Structure 1
């Protein structure tokens, strides 16, 4: 392989990044649902409200961990991941092209099985 087209690498990494973004959100959703079913979020939010508001206070504040907050943070992290992976793949294609020009690239030999 003599050369990778950086534009093609960028397009492919963006498509794969978006696909992995949706896989990431589904995984976060499943994990959130399982932990919510176990009552983990209720205990954590109760502990947080008792630490911040005090034992005797009836503060009806917003919970620390909610579905909107979890999915919002997961979406931000997923978007950052898409940008970073695409940039890394494109820079890697440039680096490979430069090193292939210096060293001659990879030689791949295909043969039939007998």
Structure 2
């Protein structure tokens, strides 16, 4: 007799035993098969613009910091190699301005170069974030028209 659910009238089915094998013998042992790599077809149908904005903001901040650090290191290395003194000598001999000497550090001093790299880094953060967010919106519109980006992933 089938079991009944508490408070209900529908019977609950219990699993039945597997049907008997034809031929009456014991099951044959199967040889181990090599597992083939799985292939999965995926479609990138939508990119969340908010998520794209957050990721692009973090990446552009990292790039901005790397730009400032790279500028500081490059300026320090050039100064230690004496490049600015050599440029002063070459430009001074070309200009030959009687009483007043030429100093390139008036134009590309450390604080001026670092300040400029910080400004460029901030502009980079704003532009890169805006462009990535706009690209997510444009991808969503084009994906609605053509069906998205089809990917095939394999498990090696």
Q: Is the pair's TM-score, using the shorter chain for normalization, greater than 0.5?
A: yes
Shorter-chain TM range is 0.7 to 0.9
Change (3 A) 1:51 1:71: farther
Decide which structure has the larger Cα Rg and report it: 2
Instruction: Tell me the distance in 2 between the aligned counterparts of 1:59 and 1:68.
Output: 19
Instruction: Tell me the distance in 1 between the aligned counterparts of 2:131 and 2:87.
Output: 37
- Corresponding residue of 1:71: 114
Pick the structure with more helix per residue. 1
Do structure 1's residue 80 and structure 2's residue 123 form an aligned pair? Answer: yes
Which of 52, 57, 74 is the matching residue for 1:31?
74
When the two chains are superposed, the root-mean-square deviation of aligned CA atoms in Å is: 2.6
Instruction: Tell me the distance in 1 between the aligned counterparts of 2:128 and 2:150.
Output: 27
Change (3 A) 1:50 1:68: farther
- Provide the TM-score with structure 2 as the length reference: 0.61
Long gaps (5+) in structure 1: none
Which of 12, 34, 57 is the matching residue for 1:14?
57
- Provide the TM-score with structure 1 as the length reference: 0.81
Higher relative contact order (Cα pairs below 8 Å, separated by 6+ residues): 1
